Amino acid sequence: MIKRRDFVTCAGAATLYGAASPELWAQAAEATAASRAAPGGGAAAAPAAPAAGVTDAGATAGPADFTLHIAPAALEVAPSHFVSTPAYNGTAPGPLLRMREGKPVTVEVVNDTDTAELVHWHGLFLPPEIDGAEEEGTPLIPPGARRRYEFTPQPAGTRWYHTHAMAMGDLHRGTYTGQFGFLLVDSGSDPGRYDRELFLALREWEPFYTDQPMDTDDIGVLGPQPERPATLDTSRPNGLEATSQLFSVNDKALGSGEPIRVREGERVLMHLLNASALENRTIALPGHEFYVFALDGNPVPTPRAVKVVTLGPGERVDAYVEMNRPGVWILGSTFDPLRRAGLGVVVEYANQHRQARWEAQPGLQWDYTVFGHPVSAAPARPAPDHTIDMVFEKIPSGAGQFDLWTVNGKPYPHDGELTLEQGKRYRLAFRNRTDDSHPVHLHRHRFELVDVNGTPSSGILKDTVIVPVYGRVSVDLIADHPGLSFFHCHIQQHMDFGFKALFRYA
């Protein structure tokens, strides 16, 4: 058994399949089991620093606890297929930032690119000037500049960091790039009983635009759809949508990296992250179950085992997997075309040399609410002081254009409309009147799921939640972190083209 501070790193190495399309070599990989993958992360130093703030790092003496260099990197996502993209310290994910809850740290960010950048610390409670959203007033880091951030990490749990730059029509900016990494805030009290710890981020690369419907997730398509309009307006064609044909777990497409090597009887801790800019993903490890104990890094009231895990962009799932079915398996997307195009990694038991196996997982649906308090045992919840409806709509812009998105039918930033009073409880009712499912994220706070498409929920704390197609999700927010707080869909294109709002405190 190893403890939290010891984690697995595997050196990446390439397997050559010769020149072939991603689809072809991914299929080859599934067939041959010659697959490898590299869990992300690097070691982190012990932190020590004063109060929160931002400084021009050039004026500050002494090394920071962590340093992130933003610079172009060449990532060998598939054999001899190098993706050129800005990344942190030359890798994607960037270095694992491991911090102790409540213990101040310094992070220095060096922008070695030719565009202004921002690093957002997703899931942390930080002041708006550090949080990493321009909309909240965090200053951009100019090209060639460096900034030193000093903050006290909280709350404990699996967080992450990523760029918050707007991309608009530029698919080489924002979360389309390799600028993402895991940030773990350690409570110091987690017994952490496991044999192996993995950090697995779901990704796509080399995005491009299409005018064809490319949705590869169907979250909520079969659900109740309480927000579906009586008549659908199909008069205008859809606009351009970003999509991809090259996928990976961390920076290696299925078949391109080291396998995850395990032994029978081991208990593996998986930190799962959807770092996609594009879409929700559903994954499985055939023959095994994910014992989910935290969502977005927050422990759930009812941990339980499930066979598939769905993650919207920005979401995290922490789960234990008992390695009790020896063989060679593919941990990957349940959607065949995505898995064959790289969204997976091979899990190989010791002394097993057979082909990597995949088994279909038909009919299984992810459901947040099963991890909450049982309805009969749910603690009483105070009535909200206010309810805020948030209606999401899409305005088709026509062929060759970018669709626009609105929150409450109004353009950003909803002046004066979304004002919070400190200490009050707000029920946010997310009403999705679009045919996409949206992972919506609120900065600097977390909220409790109250209702998902009519199913009550209790005790699940999150910072990002998927609002299904034509679906409705209600959450309770206690206004306890004064300052501007950005709200947006975590799909980059939706955020860039209007799916955003700003909460203020009175």
Chain positions contacting Cu ion, by CB under 5 A: 438, 489, 491, 494
Among all residues, whose Cβ is closest to Cu ion? 489
Separation CA 178–CA 246 (nearest Å): 13
Burial of residue 386 (CB within 10 Å: 0-12, 13-18, 19+) is middle
Least separation, in Å, of the C-beta of 458 and Cu ion? 26
Whether omega before 413 lies within 30 degrees of 0, making that bond cis, reads yes
**Cα–Cα distances in Å, from 79 out to 75, 177, 405, 442?**
10, 19, 38, 38
Least separation, in Å, of the C-beta of 488 and Cu ion? 8
Least separation, in Å, of the C-beta of 499 and Cu ion? 5
Least separation, in Å, of the C-beta of 434 and Cu ion? 8
CB 182 within 8 A of CB 40: yes
Per-residue buried b or exposed e for 313-339, using 16+ beta carbons within 10 Å of the residue's own CB: bbbbbbbbbebeebbbbbbbbbbeebb
How many Cβ atoms from other residues are within 10 Å of residue 449's Cβ? Answer: 23
Side-chain-side CA neighbours of 453 within 13 Å: the count stands at: 23
CB-nearer residue toward Cu ion: 473 or 491: 491
**Beta partners for residue 427, in sequence order:** 387, 476
CB-nearer residue toward Cu ion: 126 or 467: 467
CB-nearer residue toward Cu ion: 215 or 385: 215
CB 98 within 8 A of CB 56: no
In the block, which residue shows the tokens 């032994």?
263
Least separation, in Å, of the C-beta of 438 and Cu ion? 3
Least separation, in Å, of the C-beta of 185 and Cu ion? 27
CB-nearer residue toward Cu ion: 146 or 494: 494
Separation CA 77–CA 128 (nearest Å): 35
Least separation, in Å, of the C-beta of 332 and Cu ion? 24
CB-nearer residue toward Cu ion: 443 or 494: 494
CB-nearer residue toward Cu ion: 269 or 489: 489
Least separation, in Å, of the C-beta of 89 and Cu ion? 30
CB-nearer residue toward Cu ion: 77 or 491: 491
Element at 25 (helix H, strand E): helix 22-32
Least separation, in Å, of the C-beta of 362 and Cu ion? 27
Least separation, in Å, of the C-beta of 342 and Cu ion? 23
Say whether 369 sits in a helix, a strand or coil: helix
CB-nearer residue toward Cu ion: 89 or 432: 432
Output the six-digit token pair for 94.
């960037």
For the chain, the distance separating the N- and C-terminal CA atoms, rounded to the nearest angstrom, is: 50
CB-nearer residue toward Cu ion: 165 or 489: 489
Residue ranges of alpha helices (H) inside 65-175 are 128-131
CB-nearer residue toward Cu ion: 298 or 492: 492
What sign does the CA torsion over 219, 492, 422, 107 have? positive
